[in-house]
Amino acid sequence: MALDGHKYLFVLGGVMSGVGKGIASSSVGLILKQRGYEVNLVKIDPYLNVDAGTMNPTEHGEVFVLSSGLETDQDMGNYERFLNRDLGPEDYMTSGMVYQSVINRERALGYHGKFVETIPHVRDEIIERLEQAAGHNGSQISVIEIGGTVGDFQNGLFIEAARVMRLKHPNDVRFVLVSYLPVPNTIGEMKTKPTQSAVRELNSYGVQPDFILARSNDPMDEKRKEKLAIWCNVRPDHIISAPDVASIYDVPMNFEKDNLGNLLLDALSLSKDTPADFSAWSDFVTRIKSGGPEVRIGIVGKYFDTGDFVLSDAYLSVIEALKFSGAEIGVKPKIEWLNAKDFESGENIEKLGEYDGILVPGGFGETGIEGKLKAIRYAREKKIPYFGLCYGMQLMVVEYARNVLGLEGAHTVEINPDAPHPIVAMMDAQKEVLARGEYGGTMRLGVYKEQVLPGTLAHKAYGKDEVEERHRHRYEINPAYVPRLTSAGLVFSGTSPDGVLMEIAELPESVHPFFLGTQAHPELIARPLAPHPLFSAFLRAAAEKGKAPA
């Protein structure tokens, strides 16, 4: 159960989806943290999936994996990046989780023969989960984002749970509505009516917002604030202008210009004695804006056929990790998306010579795989810094087996189960899981320890012998081929503590300036104030390549 006096801030969205609730929630969390409070951020997704693991990235964006192994919505990544700490599985909730839990309890006679209904049992399950999340890690304030838009049928039950919590704890629960104020081109005037309608819709649930974060292309003027205040019954100073900004990392300090931190603490009856310290965050924002020498990074991937907006979401953590390391070492990564399909014939492969670094991210399936293999070979032979993430490491090893060892037909069994040389194979435990038809939440997920070999690129980057990384995969480098690969010059610089699983592969610096792949997803733990060392090492090598004469 929650600690006595725990505070809850519910963040809801109005007018349209994609209005920026996740960044707003992350920013509110950071603001309160910088005032000395322990904060946990909670994401509620109204879909019936039990977790995000089975969803296609082109449908819902990147799947973010917590240290616990729970596969979640990408907003959890923003939460961790802004708070600069890990969140737990209790900080994520879907409709699927809630209903599954209620049904399992009913099957086990947990309701003692009662007639189980949506109200109160499902609603109370939601409240119980929120209170459990509040009790972890010494948290004092929970910032809870309810996914979707006010008026969506799917999230009504979560709003109802929040309403009941406010009724029971009137001094401890507050509501923030993130709403959109359009400026139609043909009118040229910011319109408040859609937000007025969103507030009335929220009122129909029995909920009155305490704050409105007014999203728009431009800052809100006082006249619109006054109009919204009157029609929405919200104090004028509780209507916060949230215009578009150059970087999402500007948002917290933008909110602070409107005194949001103090206003929130007043609304929650909390002390304002500790002044906010944004010095480190402000320094990071300055560095990410100022950039430095441009470094061209080509990302060879597969999620390209559904538009650039979805593409950015599919590789969100990779993009942000590159930004963080760029800010750390003083370079500006210029990311360009390269469709792996374009390299399958080999005709366009010379285009890769234009880049200072090549990165192949994680993924699944055979789409564009031969194009990726050709890109990896080109980067290896032309000595272009290469960084492979998960699938990008597996294919790097397959390419080496084919073109250096000369193992014709070398492949991953994910694509060719009958490959004559199964360089990448499935773990026995995973075979048993798939035989039962279980796909969701059954991969190698979450944090695992790795031993790092001294004298290697990886060890030079990490600066230590043992590290922890997050994983999300089902296939591993086949141990039967490790001796032949190492005898041919490939170095497995990171392994599981028992030496069975190959976690990092690389070529020595004497052979290649930077040719490294990791079975993990290091992008998942990269933070603005704690960039990941492998991304930083990759960008340093790419920057050096960029200095070299063509």
Q: Report the catalytic residues.
A: 390, 521, 523
Asked whether the beta carbons of 35 and 252 are under 8 A apart, the reply is no
Asked whether the beta carbons of 313 and 74 are under 8 A apart, the reply is yes
**Number of CB atoms found within 10 A of residue 109's CB:** 9
Strands (E), 381-442: 386-389, 410-412, 421-426
Closest CA to 75 of 41, 47, 51: 41
Return the structure tokens found at 199. Answer: 């507030």
SS3 362: coil
Residues 125 and 27: their CA atoms lie apart, in Å, by: 28
Cα distance between the two ends of the chain = 63
Residues 532 and 324: their CA atoms lie apart, in Å, by: 8
- 542 phi/psi in degrees, rounded to 5: -65, -40
Residue found by looking up tokens 């400026």 in the block: 183
Return the structure tokens found at 100. Answer: 């599954």
DSSP string, 1-29: -PPTT-EEEEEEEESSTTSSHHHHHHHHH
Residues 2 and 430: their CA atoms lie apart, in Å, by: 38
**Torsional sign, CA 319, 320, 323, 325:** negative
The CA-atom distances, in angstroms, between 464 and each of 155, 329, 461, 525 are 46, 20, 9, 17
